[in-house]
Structure 1
Amino acid sequence: MNLALWIAAILLTLVALTGGITKSFVPKQKLATIHGAEWTAGFGANAIRALGATELLAALGLILPRALGIAPVVVPVTATCWIALMVGAMITHSRLDQYKLVAVNVVYLAIAAFIAVGRY
């Protein structure tokens, strides 16, 4: 079970890192042209960067506390926050009729729920 939780956390960390780096460093105009990121056209650049920073912090919170043995309760808290983030992503993508991306968000939500339950 512990191995499965580590694999899930690493997978979700990679997702968070990818999204966080993209939202933090790719210009808004370029993001709006990428499939799946069309929603950025309706958001301010600072809001997008803040979301990217949140995802980068989530990447750290899913791995480091448990790996370092410092405040490991942060891992399930981070996973729970990721669930809330995915609910928002599902709402945003469904408004744009991007139902395949909603399904991807459901998978990420399920992984986060597995981590949250497994690590509490």
Structure 2
Amino acid sequence: MNIALWIVQGLLALMFIGAGSTKAFQYEKAKTSLPWVKDYSRGYVAFIGISEVLGGIGLIVPYATGIAPVLTSIAAIALAVVMVFAAVFHAKRKEYSGLVMNIILLALAVFVAIGRF
């Protein structure tokens, strides 16, 4: 079970850090690849991106270092909440392909949160 959790944590961390970095630091690239970004301010998109990057780091660092490992579960819960909001957001915009990815990431984050508590 520990190996499965580490694999999922690593994949989630890579995904959130990668996607978050694009939103936070490459706004123009995010505008071309994500249709919703055009409708929101640079600050709003950067806030979401930085939140995702910090959550991705939080999935790995606390548990790997043994310093406050409960923060890994808290990061997973926080990212799950972000995915709930993202799923609602995409559903309202009728972006169903984004909705499917949000549900998958939500399930994986819940798996990590439960497994690490």
* TM-score normalised over the length of structure 1: 0.92
Q: Could you tell me how far apart the structure 1 residues matched to 2:93 and 2:52 are?
A: 22
Q: By how many angstroms is 1:38 displaced?
A: 1.3
**Which segments of structure 1 move beyond 6 Å, counting only runs of 4 or more?**
none
Q: Could you tell me how far apart the structure 1 residues matched to 2:89 and 2:38 are?
A: 12
* TM-score normalised over the length of structure 2: 0.94
Unaligned segments of structure 2, at least 5 residues = none
Q: RMSD value over aligned CA atoms?
A: 1.1
Unaligned segments of structure 1, at least 5 residues = none
- Higher helix fraction: Structure 1 or Structure 2? 2
Does 2:10 match 1:10? yes
Secondary structure in 1 aligned to 2:32? coil
Q: Give the one of 46, 50, 55 matched to 1:53.
A: 50
Tell me the matched-pair count: 117
Please say if residues 39 and 92 of structure 1, whose CA atoms lie closer than 8 Å, have aligned partners that are also in contact: no
**Which has the larger displacement, 108-117 or 19-28?**
19-28
After superposition, what is the alpha-carbon deviation per residue over 1:24-66, rounded to whole angstroms, capped at 9, x for unaligned? 11125x42332xx211122111111111111111111000001
Q: By how many angstroms is 1:21 displaced?
A: 0.9
